[in-house]
Each structure stands twice: as structure tokens, then as C-alpha cells.
Amino acid sequence: MLAEFIASYGYLAVFAGTLLEGETVLLAAGFAAHRGMLDWRLVVAVAFAGATLGDQIAFLLGRWKGEALIQRFPALARNAARVQLLLERYHAPFILVVRFLYGLRIAGPLMMGASRLPLARFVLLNMIGAALWAALVAGAGYAFGLAIEAWLADLKRIEELVLIGILAAGLAVWIWRRERSSRAGKL
């Protein structure tokens, strides 16, 4: 059942997932590519497109309404000074790796848009960062598949369970971090 869903909607799920955070979806897609359910190159291309578009939208939203959004959402306000400091200190490297920093994937580009960073510079560095991110995270999912296959003789029997496990683990981490962040905001 899951294999049919992946065959029908896998690339769409990768695109939708990578518009926002996307690591869990992309790890699962990398594993699915290892298992032959998806094409790894296409997974990386779709993830690149989704990640690039998501960050461009966040950047432009920051350019348009960044200050109002930062003031309206306490989580953004808490990260604003940190993003500004990192952007000033490590300009290009920070733009390249912001998508790898938990909690800054959406907030980072939004606040960069509010900072008046030149659009052309952000577009170029964002695309390079998205390409690296897509290849590395999908590659990690693929490598996980290789490792599991070396460990288990008959991976075919449980590959759908492994995919569900990857997605469940990602959801659990997301819930745990959200709860921890919520508790920290109340202190």
C-alpha cells in the first residue's frame, strides 16, 4: 500500500515537504530511491526545487512584511538577533548553511529578507545551499538504505516498515522540539 502511494505521490510529497522543513521527507525519499521506488536524481532535483522555492518565498515575505512578522511571532523575535549576528559575521557561509540549522530553515530566509540583503545574492547562495542540502540529505537516506540492507538479509519484507519508522521518528523529533521550545518560551 505504501509503495503504491510512493509511486503515485512520492515526488509531490518531496516537493511539498521541502517547501518547509523537509528533512524527514527527504531522508525517507532517499531510502525509497535506494529501494527502487523513486529515482534518486529526480528526488534531489525535486527537493532542490521545493527548498529553493520555499526559501525564496520566505525571503520575499520577509522583504514585504518581515518586521511586522518578527514582532507578531515571539519565536521569530527570539531568533532575530542571532540571525542578524550570524549574517553579519559569516555572510555567505551562513546563507549557504541556514537550511541545515534547525529552527532557522524558514525563519532565517524570512529575517534575511527583512535585513535588506540583496535579492540577487540571496538567490545565488540559496540555490547553491539548496543543491548541497538536497544531495546530502537524500544521500543520507540512500546510505541508510545501503547500511540497513547490509545488516538485514531480506530488507524487501520490511522496507515499508522502515519508511514508516523514518517518518515516525521525524515526527517524534518535531513534536519533542516543538514542546521543548514551547516550554522554553513560557519560562
Contacts (Cβ under 8 Å, ≥6 apart) of 103:
75, 79, 177, 181
Count of structural domains, the chain = 1
pTM of the model: 0.82
Which one has a higher pLDDT value, 7 or 51? 51
C-alpha cell at position 132: 548541497
What is the C-alpha separation between 153 and 159, in angstroms, rounded?
Answer: 12
Nearest residue to 107 via CA among 84, 79, 146: 79
Which one has a higher pLDDT value, 35 or 3? 35
49-96 confidence digits (pLDDT tens): 999 999 999 999 989 987 888 788 777 777 777 788 888 888 888 889
What is the C-alpha separation between 125 and 138, in angstroms, rounded?
Answer: 20
Can you tell me the mean pLDDT for 150-161?
72
Contacts (Cβ under 8 Å, ≥6 apart) of 91:
none
pLDDT at 187: 47
55: left (phi over 0), alpha (psi -120 to 50) or beta: alpha
Domain of residue 72: give its range: 2-186
